[in-house]
Amino acid sequence: MGWRCITCSEVHEDAFDTCWNCGTGREGGKRPDFVRATDPPEQERFVDAIADHAGVLAADVARTLESPSRRRERAWARALNERFEALEAEVATLRAELDALRRQVTR
């Protein structure tokens, strides 16, 4: 069935409770934390923050691997490396999504 935003008249599926276009809730009233999906600066900061976090994890992994004198240290290094790789994949996905959004905005 869907619903129509009372602010901008955008039509949405029932599964969504906030207008993607203007941030108005289904019952009215704007969400204070709303950021439009097409606002690249906020998304870029988010992607950069994840990338920075991944860099910190990489440094931790490198420090841990420098002196793996005990089995526990090696286990931590493996765990950190796996997490780092997962974050790198997340960053790549978010950058691809951001690029797709930029292409949509420029159409």
Around 16, how many Cα atoms within 13 Å sit in the side-chain half-sphere?
A: 15
The domain limits of the chain are 1-34, 36-107
Q: Is 9 left (phi over 0), alpha (psi -120 to 50) or beta?
A: left
What is the residue whose two structure tokens read 């994949």?
89
Q: How many residues does the chain have?
A: 107
pTM of the model: 0.34
Residue 17 has pLDDT above 80, yes or no: yes
Around 17, how many Cα atoms within 13 Å sit in the side-chain half-sphere?
A: 3
Q: pLDDT per residue over 42-79, tens digit each? A: 667 777 777 777 777 777 777 666 655 667 777 888 89
Nearest to 5 by CA among 31, 39, 40, 41: 31
* pLDDT at res. 36: 67
* pLDDT at res. 87: 92
